[in-house]
Amino acid sequence: MSGEVHDECGVAAVYLKPNKDSSNKALFYLYKILLNLQNRGQLSAGITTYNQERRQILHTHRDIGTVNEVFRTSKLEKSLDIFKKFSGNKGIGHVRYATFGRSERMFAQPFERHHGRLWKWFSFGFNGNLVNYYPLREALEKKKEYHFTLENDTEMLMHYLARALVGNKKPNLRAVFNNLSKKFEGSYNITFINALGDIAAVRDPLGFRPLSYAIKDGNVLVASESNALQNCGFERFKNLEPGKMIQIDNGNISIKRYAPSTRKAHCMFEWVYFANVSSVLDGRSVYVTRVRLGKELARLETQQVTKDHIVIPVPDSAKAAGDAFAYELGVPVKEGLIRNRYVGRTFIEGTSRKDKIANKYTLVKEVIRGKKIFLVDDSIVRGATTEQIVGALKDAGAAEVHVRVSCPPIIGPCFYGIDMSTVTELFAPRFMKEPAESMPEKAAKKMARYLRADTVIYQSIPGLIKAIGLPKRDLCTACINRQYPTPTGKKLIKIAVENYRKGRKEGGRPYERAIRCG
C-alpha cells in the first residue's frame, strides 16, 4: 500500500517447559516473535516475563520505538542487561500501532496491574478495537470513584479484567473470558499472564484478527502471525479458532472454547495488505492469495498491451499481485520504484510531492522514461500517496500511467482496529456513493482524472472473495461493502454515512459522539 495504513498491533506469548536449558529463555523467543511481527506495529514494543525467583515475579519492559530500539540492540551491553533482568520461562509480548491513544510510553503494552494477591497481579497485551468502548466506560463511571487516565480501550479492558478477578478465590480463566465476551463488542486478541504463571491467549468469537500457536515438546508459542512461529523453529503451527483460548495452568496446556462463535468475520485486509506475505491465516496463504488477486485483476484489463507496457508494483506488499498480474498479461515487471527500506521513522517530511515520494521511494528514471506503466498497488485508502506516485512517474517521463488496484474500493471506515475510522478520510467515497460489486465506469474515469492517471481499474468484490478462498460469510468485508458484522457497527455506519453526505465534520471515530449507550 502506497499510503501507510496500519493495524493496531501484534501479540505474542511464550511458555517453556521448565528445565535447565529453557528456564530463562522466554525473552529470546518473545524478542524474535516481535521482530517478525514488526509489520503490525512500529510505534512501541514491550514484554512481560514471569520468574518466581525474582521479587518482581512479573516484570514488564515497554517503550516507544521499534523492537530493536526498545531492546537496545545497537548497544550490546545494555541489551544483554535487559535480557538478563527480564529472564524467565514464561511471558507475553506486544508491538503497537495506535488507532486510539497517543504516541507516548504510557500507551505502550503490555499493561501490568500490580496486586498483593498473585492471581490478581496480571499483565496483558491487546490487539483489536472495542466498538462499544463508551458504553463500557459509562457502565464503570456509574460506579463510585472510577477515574480514567489513558482514555483508550486497552485501559478499559484492564479495568474489566481486574473486576473479573475480584474475590477471595482464584477464578477459572475460561469463566473470566466467557463473562467478558458477553460485555465486549468488536475485535480482541488478548495474551494474558498472572503472577502465578498462568497464561491465556484468547481470540474473539468472530476471529477478526489472526492468531496462531504451536506446541512442540511441551513448549508453547503464540503469535498474531504464523511466520513468527516458523522463524522460531516451530513449523507445525495451527490457527486458534474464533471463540477459543489457549490456557496454561500449572504446566497443563489446553485449548478450550470460552465463548460461542455464531459466525466468523476474518478481516479480508489481512490477506490484501497487513499480514506478512509468508504467513498463513486461517488456512489460507497470504502469498498465494495475493498471487490470485493479481490474476483476478489481470482478467479485468481493458488496455491493448504493447511492447511499451511495463508493470511496476508498489513495493513491498503489492509485489506478489503485481508479478502475477504481469505474468497473466505477458508484460515485463520492472522495479521502477525502489523502497527506501532503511530510512526508518523520521520527523523530516517535505511539503512538495517530490520530497514526500523521495522519503519513501527512489524512482529509476531509466526504467520509467517513455513507458506505458501499469502501476499495481494492493489498495488505495486515502489516495494522497497514489496521486503523488502517479505525478512523480509522469514527471520522470512515463508516457502513460494506468493504476491497477488488487483490492476493491475502500468506501467504509473500520471500527475493528484499522486506522481508517471516518468516511471523510477515504478516497473512493468521493467518486462512488454506494457500494458496488465492481467499480462503476463513470467513477473510475473521475478517479483517473483526479490522480492524473490515464485509467484506473479496481479489483471486484467477487474477485477478492475468490482469491482468498473462504466463504464470503466468513469474512469481514465491511470496508468495501458497508456490511458490518456487529450490531454497533451497523449503527455506526449509518451515522458515518449520514454525516458525510450532509457535510458534517466527523473529527475522529464516529462512535466517540454518536453512540453512548448503544
Contact 366, 338 (CB under 8 A): no
DSSP secondary structure letters along 75-138: SHHHHHHHHHHT--SEEEEEEE--SSS-SSGGG-S-EEE--SSGGG-EEEEEEEEETTHHHHHH
Q: Which three cell numbers stand for residue 308?
A: 511499451
Q: Of 477, 484, 493, which is closest to residue 268 (Cα–Cα)? A: 477
Contact 462, 472 (CB under 8 A): no
Contacts of 433 (CB under 8 A, 6+ apart): none
Q: Tell me how far apart the terminal alpha carbons of the chain are, to the nearest angstrom.
A: 34
Contact 234, 46 (CB under 8 A): no
* CA separation for the pair 415, 421 (Å, rounded): 6
Q: Of 108, 113, 110, 114, which is closest to residue 124 (Cα–Cα)? A: 110
Helix, strand, coil share (%) of the chain residues, nearest 5: 35, 25, 45
9 as an active site residue: the answer is yes
Q: Helix, strand, or coil here: 4?
A: coil
Residue 37 burial by Cβ neighbours in a 10 Å radius (0-12, 13-18, 19+): buried
* CA separation for the pair 119, 170 (Å, rounded): 6
Q: Helix, strand, or coil here: 501?
A: helix
Contacts of 53 (CB under 8 A, 6+ apart): none
Q: Helix, strand, or coil here: 447?
A: helix
Looking at the DSSP bridge assignments, the partners of residue 8 are none
Catalytic machinery residues: 9
